[in-house]
Amino acid sequence: MARMKFLCDAERCIDCNACVTACKNENEVPWGINRRRVVTINDGKPGERSVSMACMHCTDPPCASVCPVSCFYVTLDHVVLHSKDLCIGCGYCFYACPFGAPQYPKVGNFGSRGQMDKCTYCAGGPEPDGSVAEFDKYGANRLAQGKLPLCAEMCSTKSLLAGDGEIIAQIYRERVIARGYGSGAWGWQTAYRERIAV
């Protein structure tokens, strides 16, 4: 069975936020929640890099390890999902996740912020595939339709890759070999012929 993963090639990401917009529109994510976000490091300086971040669907997810009600589960495709019916909104997963994927849907006092929300890899949730209840709670289930997450499909530079981890690793390996290993191979150094410390 495939192990579904995301990979963002920082050499290609142009910080356009198309992945963020596609996710919000496809899943009708409420205002204030971003299941995916673009993080820019060294903004405006030589060596600037942007990376599209979301739940990385870890092999051994720390969010699942700390959840006191075991609302997180891993599908056969190794996608990490959670049940909003079981979630008590304690926030342990928020603090355990190194990528900041689980989020509260509302701002407020503890107990009034609701159940956690996170990237579902466009795989829906525990409700039956394609049901109205599944869409209302988790958004579109593109995986059940044989499609990849819309964030990756909408990436104009193909920096955000989604799919079987082994295939993604091979694509990235070919890119690194083609451009030469190391930071700056397609970025600032190529454009301006300057050596920069990254």
Q: What is the pLDDT of residue 186?
A: 47
* pLDDT the model gives residue 22: 95
**Cβ atoms of residues 17 and 8 within 8 Å:** no
Domain count, the chain: 1
**197 occurs within a structural domain:** no
198: in domain: no
Tell me, yes or no, whether 88 lies in a domain.
yes
Q: Which of 77, 38, 58 is nearest to 160 (CA)?
A: 38
Q: Which domain does 170 fall in, by range?
A: 4-192
Q: What is the pTM of this model?
A: 0.83
**Tens digits of pLDDT across the chain (198 residues):** 678 999 999 889 999 999 999 999 999 988 878 899 999 988 888 888 999 999 999 989 999 999 999 999 999 999 999 999 999 999 999 999 999 999 988 777 766 788 899 999 999 999 998 899 999 999 999 999 999 999 999 999 999 999 999 999 999 989 888 887 554 444 545 555 555 454
Query: Is 70 a member of any domain?
Result: yes
| 14, 181, 183 from 195: Cα distances, Å | 21, 15, 11
Whole-number Å distance between alpha carbons of 124 and 140: 6
Instruction: Check residue 1 and give its pLDDT.
Output: 64
Look at residue 189 in the predicted model and tell me its pLDDT: 53
